[in-house]
Amino acid sequence: MRLLLTGITGQLGTAVAGAAPERGVELVPLVRGSRPGRVPFERAFPALAGAAVRGDVRAPGWGLPDPVLDELSRSVDAVVDLAGETNWAGSGRDLYTTNVLGARHGLDVARELRRRSGRHVAYCYASSIFVAGGALGHVAEAPLPPDRHRTAYEHSKWVAERELVAQHRPGDPDVLISRVGALLGDARTGETRHRNSLYLLAERWDDLPGRVLPVMRGARVDVLPRDVAAAALLDSLAGLLRAGPRPQPVITHLCAGERAPTLRALLEAARAAAPLSFGSWVRLVPAGAEQVLWLSANAERFLPLPPAWRNSLIGLRYIGLDRVMDRGRLADLVDGPLPAPDTELLARLLFALPAARRPVAPADAGLSRFQP
């Protein structure tokens, strides 16, 4: 595959760039102009500097000129939009222009590449499993109804999904809407590009008021290492291209799904792996869904919270609700096993715990004479 890819400097995009060569995938990164305080793209990704094109997902056609579109139309197999505004404390304008308009413009780019070449070109949009809002139980890989519990970020991703489904017409490129779960660092190195709300909660472990954490009894933590998610994304996109035309956009949950550990299991795994890493322990207090959702969205009404704390409290709903993301459609696309992260590995990544050591038998001088 050859992919026109946005969001390569993000958590998932960086992992896709790392996974692409071993899968024989070529990337054409779409990058914005230099921004103050950011490492230039050419320094961050020297191997991809020559293939990059300049553009902006917020602009019609992503700001790509005709000569570039002509060149891309001859070789690109899919357009992949991983760019996203994820700051829950950010403005609604930024969320809409990047998450909604960016998705809509991406579909237009895929249409244009297909029109110019007559080739089969697919479009993939990275949404979020958290568009589920306050949904409980099994969440289907299907369009979701309105939900009053969605945050501004979740709502923008939900609106983007609705736009793509509503605008898809006969003869359009196949569309894959990949609802991505929360991401941790690389499973092998632990390296991460972005410390999301789960990391923020872990950092504030010792500061939780009253040492209590209100959650539903069966609350799950649906997270994946970012390299695992990137591999599954590329595999699902390859499956979409292999399967042939789809009359409607395909929605998948790129997450741990039914293999996601419960919050209690994750915390117990962390304590068992490194009991001395925690100054004190928290108590899980059973709470209803409405209580968890209300607390995560309204605490700032009573306490002056900085943005980092607000994001941490919003993240409470991502570990406090009892629900399972279905993965049947993901299984139809992926030719192989679905992501099934190890609970201890997730605990080590989340809490930055030291790697496990293999036990070594003590030396026995009495047996040394038998050694060659």
Q: Rg of the Cα trace of the chain? A: 22
User: What's the mean pLDDT in 28-37?
Assistant: 81
Picking from 100, 71, 58, 66, the residue whose alpha carbon sits closest to that of residue 2 is: 71
Asked if 324 and 140 touch (Cβ cutoff 8 Å), the reply is no
**Residues 233-274: tens digit of each pLDDT:** 999 999 999 987 899 999 999 999 999 999 999 999 998 988
Q: For residue 124, which phi and psi values (nearest 5 degrees)?
A: -125, 130
Distance from C-alpha of 27 to C-alpha of 21, rounded to nearest angstrom = 9
Q: Is 137 exposed, middle or buried (0-12, 13-18, 19+ CB in 10 A)?
A: exposed
Q: Tokens 């996974």 correspond to what residue?
A: 19
- Which pLDDT score, from 0 to 100, does residue 157 have? 96
Residues 270-286 pLDDT 10s: 989 888 877 778 889 99
For the stretch 104-153, pLDDT in tens is 999 999 999 999 999 999 999 999 999 999 999 999 999 999 999 998 88
Q: Which of 304, 346, 303 is nearest to 202 (CA)?
A: 346
Average pLDDT over residues 184-195: 86
| ∠ CA 155-217-290, rounded to 5° | 40
How large a percentage of the chain has pLDDT more than 90? 62
Q: Which residues contact 274 (CB under 8 A, 6 or more apart)?
A: 348, 351, 353, 354
Measure the CA angle with vertex 228, ends 307 and 62; round to 5°. 65
Percent of residues, the chain, with pLDDT higher than 70: 89
Say yes or no to pLDDT of 103 above 90: yes
Domains of the chain: 2-187+223-256+323-341 (3.40.50.720)
Hey, which of 155-159, 200-204, 303-307 has the most confident mean pLDDT? Answer: 155-159
Q: Is the pTM of this model over 0.95?
A: no
Say if residues 250 and 174 touch (Cβ distance below 8 Å): yes
Higher per-residue confidence, 196 vs 149: 149
Confidence check: pLDDT of 338 > 60: yes
- Helix (H), strand (E) counts: the chain: 14, 13
Token output for 51: 């293939």
- The overall average pLDDT reported for the chain is 88
Higher local confidence (pLDDT), 354 or 59: 59
Q: Does the pLDDT at position 371 exceed 60?
A: no
Q: Output the pLDDT for position 57.
A: 94
Give the pLDDT confidence score for residue 86 in this predicted structure.
77
